[in-house]
Chains A and B, each alone.
Chain A
Amino acid sequence: MVPLNYFLVLSAVLFAIGTAGVFLRRNLITVLLSVEIMLNAVNLTFVAVGRYLGTVDGQIIVFFVMTVAAAEAAVGLALVISLFRHRETLSPDAFTALKW
């Protein structure tokens, strides 16, 4: 059986990749994909720990997270489309109008 630590390390790596993507990529769609990676890293942790502890709680939470992630992707992509129609660009640095 694969030890728990393997899963945790993998999910940490995935999370770090996602975070880096959010910070570094200049395309909003990629940023959204990176957020999905981060969410799935967390999902992996939940499932792994659930299996390790022998409970179903982790798996149940994962279902919720997946639902929310689907909704988030839908809303996020809709926003992205509408933003692109306005500015013809998807760089997050182009959208800084909402400030003081």
Chain B
Amino acid sequence: MLLLIPLLPFAGFLINATLGRRLAKSISGGIACLAIIAAFVVSLLAVLDLRGAAGVHALRQVVFTWLPSGDLQIPFELYLDPLSSLMILVITGIGSLIHIYSTGYMHDEPDSEYARYFSYLNLFASFMLVLVLGANMPVMFIGWEGVGLCSYLLIGFWFTKKSAADAGKKAFIVNRIGDFGFVLGMLLLFTTFTTLDFQQLAVAVSSHATEAGSWGVITIATMLLFLGATGKSAQIPLYVWLPDAMEGPTPVSALIHAATMVTAGVYMIGRNAVLFTHAPHTLAVVAGIGVATALMAGTIGLVQNDIKRVLAYSTVSQLGYMFLAMGVGAYAAGIFHLYTHAFFKALLFLGSGSVIHALSGEQDLRNMGGLKKYLPITYWTFLIGALAIAGVPLLSGFFSKDEILFRTFSGGHVLLWAIGIVTSLLTATYMFRLVFLAFHGERRHDAPAAPAHPEEEEPAAHGHGHAAPAAHGHGHGGGHGTPHEAPWSMAIPLILLAVGSVVAGYVGVPHALKGSNEIESFLAPSFEASRSVPSRTASAAGGAAFQTVAVQEARTEQPGAEPASHEPAADEATELTLMGISVGIAFAGIGLAWFFWQRNRPLTDSLARQFGGPYRLLLNKYYVDELYDAAIVQPIKLLSTGALWKGVDAGLIDGTVNGVGALVRVGSTRLRRLQTGSIRTYAASLFLGVALILGWYLWL
């Protein structure tokens, strides 16, 4: 049954990849939607099955033994526990909505492109499900690489456009760097613990002491795994690919680059919670990187002019929050934020897609404004998404973000908490800047037609060829016509996601608000060394063994990983105070956005001019791309051209091959003189040879 979940979208992929170009749009799109919806239904059944079975924490299914090789026995095994069940529901649920949305959004593509798009989308869903369902690291790695491949294919979907093809390559290459770390970490874990099964690994690790104050093998392995996570989940230093990934179709940005794939790193840390808990150094690094990324991406998001780039930086920033939660040991809070974020960020992306669709491919915020009256459904749903991400009370983002900040604070990381609060102010501000610029005020055409400032490296891709999926066939030229509301296939997912963004948070109402924080107690078993396995150890080695394992388990649990019910009442007051602060911050951010971009735009522009330096720094994303280019890309290019190409390839390898050829040629020009054509000479040499051989035998 578990196998069916990734297999259904894979079947959809196979059908669309092989027959798709001959199928009508309604059929190829329908097959893809049907496949993912079926996967959603199966996931739902599987999760109900898991919840219904009393005393069972997880379902397992061994499909076949994948790599039998001596000590190394790797089964292709699927594993469903609370953590992965939450993930498969998010992937298939939100995935279904985005598939449906795509049928409307991609409708102007030719049939074959349409089928190609849906085959990639199905393939992605399939790999993502393998990633979260994998019971051991290699199986997870199949999914990990597979989603990277699909991400590459979908970013470069309009591959005839150079910027899209480049962005795809950038994503692929940057992810390779992370994957390199992931593989090394995996191998290090195997050599240390001789297993790659997550549960066995957790059990094996919990018999080790926590590596506090030392750099042991667990710390190094988890650091390497975290490098993989920074690549996949767009954290410093490998976040640079995600903003460029916005070259892909908007539903792809919503599904892959916001809701699901980029959370794989967070999921991976959650899956290896026990491992990471044993490496406090790594956790500190995770938290630090997370909060730094959140702050940096938030500041960049404040000034970007491309609607999708603002959302991309917002995604990076929110992922930073999730890593912060992971880093302070609040695994459940991080996963909770992952889950709520999937709803509102998918909603925001789809909303921006609807705006872009309505404006025939326009993505520049400076050319928007006043869209509220043309796009009422988009406006209201977008507003709900923005409120949710800003952390306005009673919406989903409020509960999850607050949980993270509270855990950070109560874990004693006051500095991290303060940065988190600043970031949440930024979040509210840039989101409402987006809302005010796009939907309020008057329609504007402020943007320079081509990038007027050379320092501004915006993709000048508005409405050129494939850049604008909606540009064909709608009759409005260049976005100057009346914007039109999205078709129903796009509006319904928006509405459903808006509902989700409102209610998704109610599974995790904190105890301070008289809630029960169900999600935390639901997820808790996934973050401990599995209970069933130690009990098996106990039956083998007697009661004493069980005692030690149980004690160590208790010790390994971080304060954050414990259900909140254990906390004293005094914390409740702190939590309420913190909640008050973050609510105030959220409204302050919205107010700031209103003041700067709604009420007082001239002031904002003059401020931007006055602080030209910092403004340009932010607009150009801290020049990180340029820095990487100068520090890494150019030296590699130089080395490749100067030494590797001209030296090794042209000099050494070609030289060797050509040298051998030249030697043979010169030698044979000499040697062929022997073939004179004169029979007499041949006879003489034959005679001489016979005489020599005879002489050899007779006299020597």
Q: A19-B687, A23-B684 are in contact. Are A92 and B673 (CB under 8 A)?
A: no
Chain A residues near B684 (CB, 8 Å)?
23
B680 within 8 Å of A (CB atoms): yes
On chain B, the residues within 8 Å of A1 by CB distance are none
- A92 contacts B679, CB within 8 Å? yes
The closest CB in chain A to the CB of B674 belongs to A100
Interface residues on B, range: 10 to 19
**Interface: A98 (CB within 8 A):** yes
B675 and A93 form a contact (CB under 8 A) = no
User: In the complex, which residues 1-53 of chain A have their Cβ closer than 8 Å to any Cβ of chain B?
Assistant: 19, 22-23
Contact A97 B677 (CB under 8 A): yes
A92:B680 contact, CB within 8 angstroms: yes
Q: Kindly state the separation between the CA atoms of A96 and B687 in the bound complex, as whole angstroms.
A: 19
Residue of B nearest to A92 (CB): B679
- The distance in angstroms between the C-alpha atoms of A19 and B687, with both chains bound, is 9
Q: Is B632 positioned at the interface, with any CB of A under 8 Å from its CB?
A: no
Cβ of B499 to closest chain A Cβ, rounded Å: 90
- The CA-CA distance from A99 to B673 in the complex, in Å, is 8
Chain B residues with Cβ under 8 A from A97's Cβ? 677
Residue from A95, A97, A98, A100 with most neighbouring chain B CB atoms (10 Å): A100
Per-position 1/0 for B591-630, Cβ under 8 A of A: 0000000000000000000000000000000000000000
State whether the Cβ of B672 lies closer than 8 Å to any Cβ in chain A: yes
Choose from A19, A22, A92, A100 the contact partner of B678 (Cβ within 8 Å): A92
Closest B residue to A99 by beta carbon equals B677
Closest to B668 in A: A100
Give the contacting residue for A99; candidates B676, B683, B687; CB below 8 A. B676
How far is it, in angstroms, between the C-alpha of A98 and the C-alpha of B676 when the chains are bound?
8
B658-700 interface bits toward A, Cβ cutoff 8 Å, 1 = contact, 0 = none: 0000000000000011011111100110010000000000000
Cβ B675 vs Cβ A22 within 8 A: no
Q: A100-B672, A100-B673 are in contact. Are A93 and B678 (CB under 8 A)?
A: yes
The answer to whether B672 and A23 touch across the interface, beta carbons within 8 angstroms, is no
Tell me the chain A residues, 66-96 only, with Cβ under 8 Å from chain B. 92-93, 95-96
Interface SS of A by simple majority: loop
Point out the residues of chain A lying under 8 angstroms from B678, CB to CB: 92-93, 96, 99
- Nearest Cβ in chain B — how far from A98, in angstroms? 5
Asked if B675 contacts A100 (CB within 8 A), the reply is yes
Q: Closest Cβ of chain A: how far from B241's Cβ, in Å?
A: 63
**Contact of A99 with B679 in the complex, beta carbons under 8 Å:** no
Closest to A22 in B: B683
CA distance A100 to B673 in the complex (A): 7
Q: Is the CB of B687 within 8 A of A98?
A: no
Determine the residue in chain A with the shortest Cβ distance to B684.
A23
- Inter-chain CA distance A55–B692, complex, in Å, is 30
Are A93 and B680 within 8 A (Cβ)?
yes
Cβ B683 vs Cβ A23 within 8 A: yes
In angstroms, Cα B672 to Cα A94, docked, is 20
Docked Cα-Cα span, A42 to B680, in Å, equals: 21
Q: Within 8 Å CB of A100, what residues of B?
A: 672-673, 675
The docked-state distance in angstroms from the alpha carbon of A82 to that of B675 is 23
A95 to B676, CA, bound (A): 11
- Complex-state Cα separation, A41 to B675, whole angstroms: 30
CA distance A99 to B677 in the complex (A): 4
Closest to A31 in B: B679
B339: min CB distance to chain A, Å: 82
A19 to B680: give the CA distance in the assembly, Å.
11
Q: Specify the chain A residue showing the minimal Cβ separation from B679.
A: A92
List CB contacts (< 8 Å) of B304-341 with chain A.
none
Report chain B residues within 8 Å CB of A22.
683
- Shortest B430–chain A CB gap in Å is 82
Which residues of chain A are within 8 angstroms of B672 by Cβ–Cβ distance?
100
Complex: A90 Cα to B673 Cα, angstroms: 25
Interface residues of B in 395-425 (CB under 8 A from A): none
Q: Report the nearest B residue to A24, measured CB to CB.
A: B680
- Residues in B with CB closer than 8 Å to A23 are 680, 683-684, 687
Tell me the bound Cα distance from A5 to B495 in angstroms: 120
A97 to B676, CA, bound (A): 9
**Shortest beta-carbon distance, A91 to chain B, in Å?**
10
A84 to B675, CA, bound (A): 23
Name the contact of B675 in the complex, choosing from A19, A92, A95, A99 (C-beta under 8 A): A99
Give min CB distance, B682 to chain A, whole Å. Answer: 10
Query: Residues of A contacting B675 with CB < 8 Å?
Result: 98-100
CA distance A22 to B678 in the complex (A): 13
Shortest beta-carbon distance from B131 to chain A in Å = 68
B564 CB to nearest chain A CB (Å): 95
The CA-CA distance from A23 to B677 in the complex, in Å, is 15
Q: Shortest CB–CB separation between residue A8 and chain B, in angstroms?
A: 14
Most buried by A among B675, B678, B684, B687: B678
Q: Which residues of A contact B687 (CB under 8 A)?
A: 19, 23
Chain A residue at smallest Cβ distance from B669: A100
A50–chain B nearest beta-carbon distance, Å: 21
How far is A97 from B678 in the complex, measured between Cα atoms in Å? Answer: 8
Which residues of chain A have C-beta atoms less than 8 A from B679's C-beta?
92, 95
- A93 to B682 alpha-carbon distance, docked (Å): 12
State whether A96 touches B683 (Cβ < 8 A).
no
Give CA–CA (A96, B680) in the complex, Å. Answer: 10
Chain B contacts for A95, CB-based, 8 A: 677, 679
Apart from A92-B680, A100-B675, 8 more pairs, CB < 8 Å = A92-B679, A93-B678, A93-B680, A95-B677, A98-B677, A99-B675, A99-B678, A100-B672
- A selection of 16 A-B contacts at a CB cut-off of 8 Å is A19-B687, A22-B683, A23-B687, A92-B678, A92-B679, A93-B680, A95-B679, A96-B677, A96-B678, A97-B677, A98-B675, A99-B675, A99-B677, A99-B678, A100-B672, A100-B673
Chain B residues near A (Cβ < 8 Å): 672-673, 675-680, 683-684, 687
4 A-B pairs closest in CB distance: A99-B677, A96-B677, A100-B672, A92-B679
